[in-house]
A = this chain, B = another copy of it.
């Protein structure tokens, strides 16, 4: 992908988004595990699982050895997020529902939707494949964390969560289709995802059920 002004100014979009996403999602996952009074090992595992599950699944789907297992920097970034969660738990009474954590979750979702779209595009999958991998990369961590916390992966359905990554992935594809450079498409994807997610949290967005659409009578 050719160099564009975004890339020149801010560096490789994948590296930037990956760093942000790993720290943010490890922070969110560990905060949830602390709230559930998991032991220290469990707190580390849930944080790392939330940070790495989406990206590992993405890498498996394009059949490459997961980046998380190859680069020692990755694990360091995840542990930094775990450490931040433990730090937050000392100063905040309910860190897992604090605005800091909600924003970190939205930022991580946007960052990983973007890394997913970038890797999928490089792997040469279909347009649907790009949106699917962006969504899996973004929402996979939260879904796995939910399962580890003994909840159904309702994060996939509630609160207009994974839908934001679908919108972001679609925006990435559209941006590329109209000729945007890689860095620009990455920023478009991240902004659409984080903005729609924060709007969904702020205004309580929900998608209707088939029943509510009036398509059937109970």
Assess the A65–B63 pair: CB atoms within 8 A: yes
CA distance A209 to B86 in the complex (A): 11
Q: Indicate if A202 sits at the interface (CB-CB under 8 A).
A: no
- Chain A at the B interface: SS class: helix
Assess the B72–A206 pair: CB atoms within 8 A: no
Assess the B153–A147 pair: CB atoms within 8 A: yes
Q: Indicate if A8 sits at the interface (CB-CB under 8 A).
A: no
CA distance A45 to B156 in the complex (A): 9
Assess the B129–A206 pair: CB atoms within 8 A: no
0/1 string, A125-167, CB within 8 A of B gives 1: 1111100110000000000000110101110110010110010
Most buried by B among A123, A206, A209: A209
Give A210's nearest chain B residue, CB to CB.
B34
Candidates B70, B86, B127; contact of A215 at CB < 8 Å? B86
Collect the chain B residues with CB atoms within 8 Å of residue A150's CB.
Answer: 152, 154
Report the minimal beta-carbon distance from A138 to chain B, rounded to whole angstroms.
13
Q: Given A45-B157, A209-B40, is A126 in contact with B69 using a C-beta cutoff of 8 Å?
A: yes
Assess the B65–A69 pair: CB atoms within 8 A: no
Collect the chain B residues with CB atoms within 8 Å of residue A70's CB.
Answer: 125-126, 129
Assess the B72–A38 pair: CB atoms within 8 A: no
Assess the B148–A156 pair: CB atoms within 8 A: yes
Q: Indicate if A41 sits at the interface (CB-CB under 8 A).
A: yes
Q: Indicate if A181 sits at the interface (CB-CB under 8 A).
A: no
Q: Indicate if A176 sits at the interface (CB-CB under 8 A).
A: no
Q: Indicate if A2 sits at the interface (CB-CB under 8 A).
A: no
Candidates B72, B147, B157; contact of A127 at CB < 8 Å? B72
Report the minimal beta-carbon distance from A185 to chain B, rounded to whole angstroms.
19
The 7 closest A-B pairs by CB, nearest first: A69-B129, A150-B152, A39-B207, A42-B157, A75-B128, A69-B125, A72-B126
